[in-house]
Amino acid sequence: MSKRSKAIALTGAALIAASSITGVLASSHREAPLISGDPGADNTDVYAFVSPTDTSKLTIIANYMPNEEPAGGPNFYPFDDTVKYDINIDNNGDGRADVNYAFRFKKHTKATNFAGIPTFLYNDGPITSLTDPNWLVPQSYDVFRNGVRVGHNLATPPANVGPRSTPAYEANLGSAAVHPLANGVSVFAGQRDDAFFVDTGSIFDLAGLRPFNPAHVLPLPAERRVDGVGGFNTNSIALQIPIAQLTRNHVNPTDPNDPHAVLGVWAAASRQKVKVLAADGTVHTAGKWQQVSRLGNPLINEVVIPRVKKDYWNSQKPAGDKEFAKYYKSPELSALVNVLYPTLPDARTSGRDDLVAILLTGLDLRDVGGPINLNKTGATLADELRVNTALKPNAAGACVFGVDGGGTPSRLGVLEADLCGFPNGRRLLDDVTDIEIRAFADGYGPVVNSFYGALTPNNTPNNTLGDGVDENDHPFLTVFPFIGTPNQGYEHTHHKLGPVLS
């Protein structure tokens, strides 16, 4: 075959492979056909990490509603009153929720402005508190733990409209929306900056990675890296919960090998099965709840589950994920990388028990002579974000080789020996795109390879693969809820550019 014929064949194969994956590497933003048309119920990201400001507590953040344009008035982006939002914790490794926090929201729309005139406005003056009468569409919510209401009529903050409408946003509104619940639990629900960072513009263009543009089957020169979700907001639900209230023995563990130390976390959204559109423009729902979205580990429904199974996967519980194991063992993404980057060493496309361990059971380093159980929960295959709550971070959020309080956080988490990072839970700073690309491409790097040897090949330069976007475009908060201030509608910038890559 001539070089030209080979290039044409490779390009055709690339097109076929790429077209079969929906939402490649966009965390969980619009990842399945049905949920892409239902943003109010769309899980985008889940984070779970031992709180660096109080290591006796676990922080869980579940984000919904992707790609919120900050200037999207006058309605902006309230939580959907007809959706039940859930955060689930599994403390015995069976893939089922032992602790469930459920959230229901309610808008309180005012039909008239301050003069009693019917209005289209979101606010008719500056909003300087959560009870400010100038806010014409406030929203509140109730919180339920295992079916028992533990928070009632709690206020969300408004959207970050602009300097006239929402002055001193974080001081006046964002921080005020952190509410205490009983027994040391804190909760926040409201608009935040989208903490996910990824070059979606390049990745959606036939899985392009700008740092590796010249190696692509359809090569391009080096270009500036771009955060494709930079400048957009999302809706966040955040909990900070004493770990002893989540473990099955009700103790805050300090030994990583404690069988009670590892928790599995996932979020979900459900709708009632009956929806009635009334002639007066109102909507009424009834009937049993049906799960329409879920998320544990990042990128699973995007790059592991095939298109024809995506909506079905969203409707299922983690306890039944054994039926999807074949897609982890023979990952389409690995084959796609092999086709699109023919000059790179080929990744394995079958027998990928390493991915099953990382993403469906957790890892026990003792299985290969290591010192601790990182986050294995047992034999049940379940998509959960697993976090070992006995690995206590320092004030910056890092722990290196299990040493409490040691080291500086690494965006590559466990790949660079920071055991408080992904896949042991997920912090806001963790670069899950680069981590998972390297795992699927068999480029684990020297740290993991030193433990797992031939089970986790360390192909070069696969162990440097990434999209070039290594951090979020806005800083995170240093206190709960940690996720950054939402982008302002009046003044914001999308797709922040990085330096030219060579």
Per-residue pLDDT tens over the stretch 155-197: 999 999 999 999 999 999 999 999 999 999 999 999 999 999 9
Residue listed under structure tokens 């429904």: 301
> 250 — alpha (psi -120 to 50), left (phi > 0) or beta?
left
Q: Looking at residue 5, what is its pLDDT?
A: 41
321 pLDDT band (50/70/90 cuts)? Answer: very high
Q: Average pLDDT of the chain?
A: 90
Please enumerate in sequence order all residues whose Cβ is within 8 A of that of 119, keeping only pairs 6 or more positions apart, or say none: 111, 112, 113, 136
Helix or strand run (H / E) with residue 202: helix 200-203
Q: Could you tell me if 334 and 352 are in contact, meaning their C-beta atoms sit under 8 angstroms apart?
A: yes
218 pLDDT band (50/70/90 cuts)? Answer: very high
3-state secondary structure 468-482: CCCCCCCCCCCCCCC
Q: Looking at residue 32, what is its pLDDT?
A: 56
- Mean pLDDT is highest, among 345-354, 361-370, 489-498, for 345-354
3-state secondary structure 126-188: CCCCCCCCCECCCEEEEEEECCEEEEEEEECCCCCCCCCCCCCHHHHHHHHHCEECHHHCEEE
pLDDT exceeding 70 applies to what percent of the chain?
90
Gyration radius of the chain's alpha carbons: 23
> What does DSSP say about strands 148-155 and 179-180: parallel, antiparallel, or unpaired?
unpaired
Please report, for the chain, the start and end positions of each structural domain, with discontinuous segments joined by +: 3-474+487-500
Higher pLDDT: 206 or 407? It is 206
Structure tokens at 128: 């300087």
- Over range 35-58, report the average pLDDT: 94
Distance CA 363, CA 359 (A): 9
Q: Looking at residue 370, what is its pLDDT?
A: 79
Backbone angles phi, psi at 301, to 5 degrees: -70, -20
Q: Is the pLDDT of residue 105 over 70?
A: yes
Residue listed under structure tokens 């000059």: 343
Q: Looking at residue 498, what is its pLDDT?
A: 62
30 pLDDT band (50/70/90 cuts)? Answer: low
What are the respective helix, strand and coil percentages of the chain, to the nearest 5? Answer: 25, 25, 50
- What does the pLDDT look like over 235-290, one tens digit per residue? 999 999 999 999 999 999 999 999 999 999 999 999 999 989 899 888 889 999 99
Q: Looking at residue 401, what is its pLDDT?
A: 61
Q: Could you tell me if 390 and 254 are in contact, meaning their C-beta atoms sit under 8 angstroms apart?
A: yes
Distance CA 151, CA 361 (A): 33
- Over range 301-309, report the average pLDDT: 91
